[in-house]
Amino acid sequence: MQEPNDQHADDELFMAEALRLAEQGAAIGEVPVGAVLVQDGVIIGRGYNSPIGLNDPSAHAEVQAIRDAATGVENYRLPNTTLYVTLEPCHMCAGLMVHARIARVVFAAHEPRAGAVESQGCFFAQSFLNHRVTITGGILADESAQLLKSFFKARRKSATQKVTQGQ
């Protein structure tokens, strides 16, 4: 059995990889959210937000990582896995985690407007669900929040510049 400190170190390691993926998304103009799906200490799925580039409103980082893993293991069920994501999941992504049978979700920053895990209700605590997902929040939260703040600050600055230049 893993000691709590070992688990925390693993959580930070995998969250750092999710942050790298979020940065990749930001580099191409997507909202910087990244995710990795881990099974037995191995990353089996990776993703970052891609709704703009894929013209797909469901292409959230979590969805991309889960799709990548399911394709790789050739199974739509992903039991005994942990999903690491840099932003608290929305209802759509939380529902997907239940359907995929993800065991645990670890998120970095809270999403006060649309976070379905803690901020705007506790989706996984609903009695009607046929699967339970455990939650750990706040792992590398400051790094994730800073990445998001910097992204949106740059986006607002760009939008302001376009307005002042008459574009």
Work out the average pLDDT over 22-40: 97
**CA proximity to 143, closest of 2, 1, 15, 10:** 15
Share of the chain above pLDDT 70, in %: 92
Query: Are 25 and 73 a contacting pair, CB within 8 Å?
Result: no
Q: How many CB atoms lie within 10 A of CB 39?
A: 16
- Write down the pTM of the prediction: 0.92
Work out the average pLDDT over 20-25: 98
Tell me how far the alpha carbon of residue 91 is from its chain's centroid: 12
Question: What pLDDT, on a 0 to 100 scale, did the predictor assign at position 163?
Answer: 56
Average pLDDT in the chain: 93
Tell me how far the alpha carbon of residue 46 is from its chain's centroid: 10
Question: Which active-site residues does the annotation give?
Answer: 62
124: left (phi over 0), alpha (psi -120 to 50) or beta: alpha
Q: Residue 65 and residue 50: Cα distance in Å, rounded?
A: 11
Work out the average pLDDT over 105-122: 95
pLDDT score of 1 more than 60:
no
